[in-house]
Amino acid sequence: MSTSDATTVATRAQRHQKPRPASDFRPDIQGLRAIAVGLVVLYHLWPKRLSGGYVGVDVFFVISGFLITSHIHREVASTAHLKVTRFWARRIRRLLPASLLVLILSGLGVLLLTPSTTWSQSAHEIGASALYVQNWQLATSAVDYMALDNVPTVAQHFWSLSVEEQFYAVWPLLILGLLAVMRLRGHRDARKAILAGLSVIFVASLTWSVVSTSQSQPFAYMSTLTRVWEFAAGGIAALVLFRLRSRANEVLTALGLVSVVASGFLLTESSLFPGWVALFPVLGTVALLLAGPTTVGRFLTTRPMTFVGDISYSVYLVHWPLIVLVPHVTGHALSWVEKLGILAVTGVLAWLSKTYVEDPLRTRPLLAKAPRRAFVFAVVGMAVVVGSTATWSTALERREASARQDAADRLTGGDRCIGPGALVAANDCGPVAGDGPLVAPPEVVIVQNEEPLLRKCQQSLGGAGLLDCVVGDPSGRNGTIALVGDSHAGAFVPMVDELGKRRGWKVVVHTKGSCPSNDAARVLPTETSGERQASCTAYNEAVDKVVLGDPSISLVLATSYTRAYDWLGADGAKGAAAGEAGFASRFSRWTKAGKDVAVIADVPATAGGVVPTCIAANPDDPQKCAVPRGRAVVPDLAVAAAKAASVPVIDLTDLFCDATSCFSRVGDVIVYKDRSHLSTEYSKLLAPFVDQRLG
C-alpha cells in the first residue's frame, strides 16, 4: 500500500462516524474471558454436570477475532501501515514463553509420573503442540479407527491454541490481501473492504462447518477451517461496533449471557458441534462484545472476574496437565476434593506464570526491544521442545524394536506356558499371569494398532472397497479360507496367518472397523450421520459377493464385537433379534453355497481401560487388571446365530478365563493391545488351539 493510498484510507475511516473502535482495554472482555475459561475448566473437571462447557473455546475464538481485527484496523487507519512482523512479534512475546514452559514441564511430568505406555503418544503430541499443529494431528486421530482408543495426553488441550496461532499467522496477511484487492478495485474505505472480506469468510467457513460436521464430526471439531467463521464473527463485530441506547445494550447483554451460559449446560458431547449449533455461543459472545459494559453485565467488570480474565491464558495452559497427571499419582480417578485442589493449584500456578513469565518477557527489553529477538526466541524455543520430543521418540522406537525382537525369539522357543498355554491345566504352569518378564512390554503392545499388516488388512471407517490382504501360505497348496468381520476379526489376523502357515492355507482377510459381517445394519448411537452405516452396508455386500463368487474359498471364519452395536433389520426389526437374524441369514447363505463356516466366539470383555497401561501401572499385581468371569463373558449374537444356522462355534473362553476371572495378562503375555482388541502376541499364540478345535 502506498503512503498516499493509505493516508486516503485513514482519512475516510476518520470521517466515518457511525462505528466506534474498541478501546485498548475493556474490563468486561476480561470478565468474558473468565467465563470462557471457567466453562472449559469446569467441563474438564465435571463433564457430566457442565456437558457443554467446551463452548468456552468458541468464546475465546470470537474474542480473539474481535480484538485482533480491531487492533489491525486501528493501525491501518491511524498510521497508514500494517507492520506484520511487529504484530507477529507481539503474539510471540504474549503467548510462547508460557506455552513452551508448560510443554517442557508437562513432558517431564509424563516421564516421571506416568506409565511407559503413554510416552510415545505424549512425545508426538507435545512436539505437534510446540509447532502449533496439534489440532490437525488430533483431527487425523479422531477419524482413525485404529487410534480411537488413544488416551488424552498432557498436550491435548493445545488443539485450540494451535487453531488460534494459525489464525494469528494468517489473519494480518489476509487483511493485507483484502486491502490490496480494495486498491485494485478503486475503493478507499478500508473498513468496508475488510468487512466485506470477513463476511465472505464467515459465510464460507460456516457453510463448510455445517457440511463437515454432518459428515465427520470428530474431524470437524478439530479443524481450523470449520472454526474460521468464529474469528470472522468477532472481526465483523469489531468493525461494525455501534452505539445503542442504554436499554438496548442491557437487553443485548442479557441475551448474550443467556446464550453462552445456557450452551454450556444444554449442549452435550453428542451435540452436532461445531456446525450451526455453534451459532449460539458465538452470537452470544458477539452480543456481549457489541453491548460493552452494562448494568446487567456489571459483574463482568468486578475485580474477581477481571483477575481471572487476566490469568485466563495461563489457567487454560496449566489446568489440563494437572487433570491428566494427578490420577497417575493417586492411583485412582479424581475425587471431588482432588478436583477442588486442582482448581486451587491451577489458580496459583497461573498467577505465578502471569507474574513471572508472561508479563516480564512480554514487556521487558529482552524480547520487546526488537521483533527479531522475539523470532529468535520462538525458533530456539520450538527447536528445543521439538528436538527433545524427537530424541525421546527415537529412543522409544529403538527400545520397542529391541523388545519386538526379544518377543519374536521367545514366541518361537516352544515354551508351553507362554500365553494361553498357562491356562491349560495339563501344562502345570503355575500362576496364570506368569512369573517372568513380559514377552512384549506394554509400550510395545499399545502401539500395535499402527502395525503395517493390520493397516493393510483392515478397511477404514469410511472405506467400502475390499482390501488386497493375503496371509498364511500365499500358494494356498491346501486351499483358501477367508476371515471376515469387524476390528475384532482384524485382531485375529496374526492367528490366521500362523494357522494358514500350519495348514498350507491361503487366507484372504476382509475386515472393516466397526462393521460386523451381518445382513442387518449395525447402529451406534454415538454416530451423528448414516455415512458409516451406509459404508458398512456397501462393504458387507462386497464381502458377500466375493465369498459366494470365489470357488476357491472353502472355509469362512467369522467373528465380531457383537455387544458393541444395536441393530436394524431389512424388515424393520430392531434390537438383538434383528442382529441375530442378520448373522444367521448370512451364515446360512454361505453354507448353502457349499462353504464351510465357523464362528469364533468374541473375546471376553475387559475392565474398560487401556489394558497395557493397566499392566504397566500394576506390574506386581496383574490381578487388578482382571475382570470377574460373570461380567466379562457376555452373550454373543454371532454365536447364537451360528447355533441357529447349524454352524460350528470355536469357543476360546477357556484360554482367557478360569472359573472365576478373565485375565489381561496370561503366561507373561499381555492379552489386549487396547480396550478390547487382542495383542499381536496373544493372537498368534492362539493359532495351535484354533487349529486343534477346527478338527
Last residue of a domain, one of 365, 391, 417: 391
Cell of 516: 460386523
Q: Is residue 296 part of a domain?
A: yes
Beta strand 553-559 with 596-600 is: parallel
Determine contact, residues 556/598, Cβ cutoff 8 Å: yes
pLDDT of residue 16: 39
Cell of 359: 508479563
Q: Is residue 400 part of a domain?
A: no
pLDDT of residue 217: 86
Is 532 in the same domain as 576? yes
Q: What angle do CA 254, 257, 258 make, to 5 degrees?
A: 85
Is 374 in the same domain as 448? no
Cell of 173: 496477511
- Identify the burial level of 576 via C-beta atoms within 10 angstroms of its C-beta, where 0-12 means exposed, 13-18 middle and 19 or more buried: middle
CA dihedral 491, 495, 497, 500 (to 10 degrees): -140
Is 122 in the same domain as 242? yes
Determine contact, residues 139/156, Cβ cutoff 8 Å: no
Q: How far apart are CA 115 and CA 324, in angstroms?
A: 12
Q: Which residue has the cell 467446551?
A: 54
Low-confidence ranges of the chain (pLDDT < 70): 1-24, 80, 143-149, 186-188, 243-245, 368, 528-529
Which CATH number fits the domain that encloses residue 436?
3.40.50.1110
Domain ranges, residue 553:
426-694
- Half-sphere exposure for 230 (CA within 13 Å, toward CB): 34
Q: Is residue 406 part of a domain?
A: no
The pLDDT tens digits for 634-682 are 999 999 999 999 999 999 999 999 999 999 999 999 999 999 999 999 9
Is 169 in the same domain as 237? yes
* Entry field: residues in the chain: 695
Q: Is residue 588 part of a domain?
A: yes
Q: Is residue 51 part of a domain?
A: yes
Q: How many CB atoms lie within 10 A of CB 572?
A: 7
Is 491 in the same domain as 352? no
pLDDT of residue 5: 41
pLDDT of residue 423: 95
Is 310 in the same domain as 197? yes
Is 510 in the same domain as 644? yes
Q: Is residue 420 part of a domain?
A: no
- Cβ-based neighbours of 413, under 8 Å, separated by 6 or more: none
Cell of 16: 466515518
Closest CA to 95 of 343, 412, 359: 359
Q: How far apart are CA 428 and CA 432, in angstroms?
A: 10
pLDDT of residue 411: 82
Is 386 in the same domain as 461? no
Nearest 5°: phi and psi at 144?
Answer: -100, 110
Q: How many CB atoms lie within 10 A of CB 13?
A: 20
Q: How far apart are CA 128 and CA 155, in angstroms?
A: 9
pLDDT of residue 23: 46
Is 545 in the same domain as 615? yes
The pLDDT tens digits for 611-634 are 999 999 898 898 999 999 999 999
pLDDT of residue 15: 38
Is 448 in the same domain as 355? no
Q: Is residue 409 part of a domain?
A: no
Helices marked H in 510-636: 531-549, 576-592, 611-617, 629-632
Give pairs for 243-251: CB < 8 Å, separation 24+.
Answer: 243/20, 244/290, 244/291, 246/294, 249/291, 249/292, 249/294, 250/291, 250/294, 250/295, 250/296
How many domains are there within the chain? 2
CA dihedral 101, 107, 111, 113 (to 10 degrees): 80
Is 316 in the same domain as 180? yes
Q: How far apart are CA 524 and CA 533, in angstroms?
A: 9
Rounded to a whole number, what is the distance in angstroms from the first to the last CA of the chain?
A: 82
pLDDT of residue 244: 62
Last residue of a domain, one of 368, 391, 414: 391
Last residue of a domain, one of 341, 364, 391: 391
Closest CA to 538 of 515, 556, 565, 571: 515
pLDDT of residue 403: 84
CA–centroid distance for 538 within its chain: 27
pLDDT of residue 260: 96
Is 447 in the same domain as 366? no
Q: Is residue 403 part of a domain?
A: no
